[in-house]
Amino acid sequence: MFRRALLIFVRITGAVVLVVGLLWWFGVRMPGKSVSRAASLSADEISLRDELRSDVQTLASEIGERNMDRYLQLIAAAEFIESSFSKAGLPPRRDTYELHGRNCHNIETEIRGSSPQIVVIGAHYDSVLGCPGANDNGSGVAAMLALARRFVGKPVGQTLRFVAFVNEEPPYFLSTQMGSYVYAGRCKDRGDQVAGMISLETIGYFSDAPHSQSYPAPGLGLLYPTTGNFIGFVANLGSRQLLRHTLSIFRNQKKIPSEAAALPALIPGVSWSDHWSFWKHDYPAIMITDTAPFRYPHYHLPTDTPEKLDYDRFALVVSAMQEVVVDLVR
């Protein structure tokens, strides 16, 4: 009995070591070096922090829960995003489709470049049932709006498109009824040359507490920190090149700790946002995230409210992402 148990243990241990080794070789080895702690905010980043806080407050407190069951609030969020683009000098456009007899709107704006290739920066603006959605995904929308404002009037080589997606949350999650799935499909039908898509998904919560970070697959905890003080870059294996490039530029800014992985999409969490829709239409796409349920204790709960976010570190993420976008569209 003891020998049999030992043999089983050795086999399981060997399998875990093999999986960890494969993950390390194919998806975890990444360029650049992560900083160990967050930087101090510059004057511009302090202004950015206040801007992010204001937009999250509007979405999660003034508008609140926003989804098909709270349709008026969903439309109010769409109108807020349209107004924000317009005030920045960026003409918004509704990409509309019908769901359950109601019009649903992706909201986009575009800064036309000299190249036909397109870089999409996206975030979903709906929230899950019963949740005001400050971090999920008011943080992503606020970041997307802040980045859009900072590219107004700037010349770009590749076309830069900012898109707020509707209906990412259940019951539409990972289905053809997601706003991003409809949008990516229309891009494909038009022949849009999407060089890369970045999904900004739940990016405002950080913790310095030991063991505040968990992972969805055995072995990942051996490769990554167990303290949730970093921002994550996630891709499938097909988008590994885009992931490595964006991570390298991000780490060069030396703003905040970062971790990254290009992993099979079947691992829980890897495909959990709008980047999945672009993979389904053969476009490279990555997700920027604080890892959501693997760190955030208020994930999909009524307590996902604006004061839970760490706006200093949130601002550092957006500040570094600005330089990533500059590089992608030059």
Q: CA 142, CA 229: separation in Å to the nearest integer?
A: 20
In sequence order, what E strands does 148-256 have? 158-165, 193-201, 231-235
Instruction: State the chain's mean pLDDT as an integer.
Output: 93
Give the pLDDT band (50/70/90) at residue 40: very high
Nearest to 120 by CA among 183, 189, 56: 183
Q: Is residue 7 scored above 50 in pLDDT?
A: no
Q: Is residue 19 scored above 90 in pLDDT?
A: no
Nearest to 165 by CA among 77, 84, 289, 101: 77
Is-contact 194 120, C-beta < 8 A? Answer: yes
287 versus 19: the higher-pLDDT residue is 287
Nearest to 265 by CA among 300, 236, 238: 236
In sequence order, what E strands does the chain have? 93-99, 102-111, 115-124, 158-165, 193-201, 231-235, 258-262, 285-289
Q: Summarize pLDDT for 171-186 with one digit per residue, the tens.
A: 999 999 999 999 999 9
- Write down all domains in the chain, each with its CATH number in brackets: 32-328 (3.40.630.10)
329 versus 8: the higher-pLDDT residue is 329
Give the pLDDT band (50/70/90) at residue 193: very high
Q: Summarize pLDDT for 86-96 with one digit per residue, the tens.
A: 999 999 999 99
pLDDT above 70 covers what percent of the chain? 92
Q: Is residue 9 scored above 50 in pLDDT?
A: no
Work out the angle at residue 61's Cα, subtended by the Cα atoms of residues 135 and 270, and round it to the nearest 5 degrees: 15
Is-contact 48 318, C-beta < 8 A? Answer: yes
Residue type for 238, please?
A: G
pTM reported for the whole predicted model: 0.92
Give the pLDDT band (50/70/90) at residue 322: very high
What are 154's two structure tokens?
């700037």
Q: Summarize pLDDT for 241-254 with one digit per residue, the tens.
A: 999 999 999 999 99
Give the pLDDT band (50/70/90) at residue 5: very low
